[in-house]
Copies of this chain bind each other. A is one copy, B any other.
Amino acid sequence: MAESLAEFLRRVRVQVDEALDRWLPKPPVCPDIVSEAMRYSVFAGGKRLRPVLVVAAAEATAAHPGGAHAVEGADALRLALPSACAIELIHTYSLIHDDLPAMDNDALRRGRPTLHTIYGDGIAILAGDGLHAEAFTLLAREPAHSGDAAALAARKLRVIRVVGEAAGPAGMVGGQAIDLQAADQVPGYRVTLDRDGLRAMHARKTGALIRAAAVSGAIMTGAADDLVAAIERYAADLGLAFQIIDDVLDVEGTPEQLGKTTGKDAAADKPTYPSLYGIEASRGLAGECVSRARQTLADAGLITSQLTAILDWVVSRKN
């Protein structure tokens, strides 16, 4: 019987949490306070969307009849797990830094006090930096062996480059900088975003790492280039739908549902999908993204995979 989405999500989360606990450095290798602070944020009960995408893309491409290399299901998970964990570490570091008073100044995240409210801004910056470095160490180190050593090394290097570009100035970091400028938080450098500018900002800020997650899973199983390209198109639409729904939930959700402060975007006079399109049209746009992504999967012969179920999860979520 096919695995349900709920079963799949539970399986990935258990595997990812177990691997993160094993792979994150512990004292005396690193100081107590850094270990404590990193783990506080990493094990805060996130959705693990990015790891779920890495594993779903790996399992879907491994099972694909046109795959260049035959990869067993268990092998796909083992190949994907380091990328899944590394990308979650990068996502977590970005949340820690974004929550700082110098950025979005958030006191609540995933239903708990943000890291800097507990340890101060200095340790929060360092914990983020530590997770960031650790992500790349992990990508270079794991898995240590898997069949052809030269092929494994080439895939690891390709993933490191994809993840580095997605996380860096051209991707996530660049998007967050534009977001600060749009919220008039950089004196003398304000930018005004129209609809295209908003989409381009989100394509960097959240889209780039979501695309990198799906692409990494496909690369690690040795998927052919056209399959990797299809996975990337799918993830671009998924990422945009995810962000639109995020904007909508910031208006419609409650702090109890979301585990974070709501109404922040409007309070900060930030441009959002609801503010530029209205709530109804925003949900419509998210639906269009999902339709396009579903068609991409159908055309690529991936429609029966968990990648399809993830689309519905992302737009129907309440947090």
State the A residues within 8 Å of B (CB): 25, 29-31, 33-35, 38, 93-94, 97, 100, 102-103, 119-126, 128-130, 132-134, 136-137, 139-141, 149-150, 153-154, 156-158, 160-161, 164-165, 167-170, 173-174, 176-178, 180-181, 185-187, 189
Contacts and interface: CB of A to CB of B under 8 A. Distances in A.
B130 A133 contact: no
Contact of A164 (B29, B123, B136): B136
Nearest to A176: B126
Contacts of A93: 129
Contacts of A139: 160
Contact of A174 (B130, B153, B165, B178): B130
A3 to B, nearest CB: 33
Contacts of A168: 25, 30, 129-130, 133-134, 137
**Closest 9 pairs (CB-CB, A-B):** A137-B164, A133-B168, A102-B121, A30-B169, A130-B169, A140-B160, A153-B153, A150-B150, A130-B173
A53 B122 CA distance: 30
A168 B23 CA distance: 13
A38 B168 CA distance: 12
Task: Say whether chain A's binding surface is mostly helix, strand, loop, or mixed.
Answer: helix
A125 B97 contact: yes
Contacts of A31: 169, 174, 177-178, 181
Nearest to A104: B122
A173 B140 contact: no
Given A34-B169, A136-B164, A185 B120 contact: yes
Nearest to A93: B129
Contacts of A130: 168-169, 173-174
A145 to B, nearest CB: 13
A116 to B, nearest CB: 8
A244 B130 CA distance: 25
The residue in A25, A126, A132 that gathers the most chain B C-beta atoms within 10 A of its C-beta is A126
B103 A169 contact: no
Nearest to A187: B120
Given A136-B136, A153-B154, 4 more contacts: A30-B169, A31-B181, A35-B169, A129-B129
A93 B97 CA distance: 14
Contacts of A133: 132, 164-165, 167-169, 173
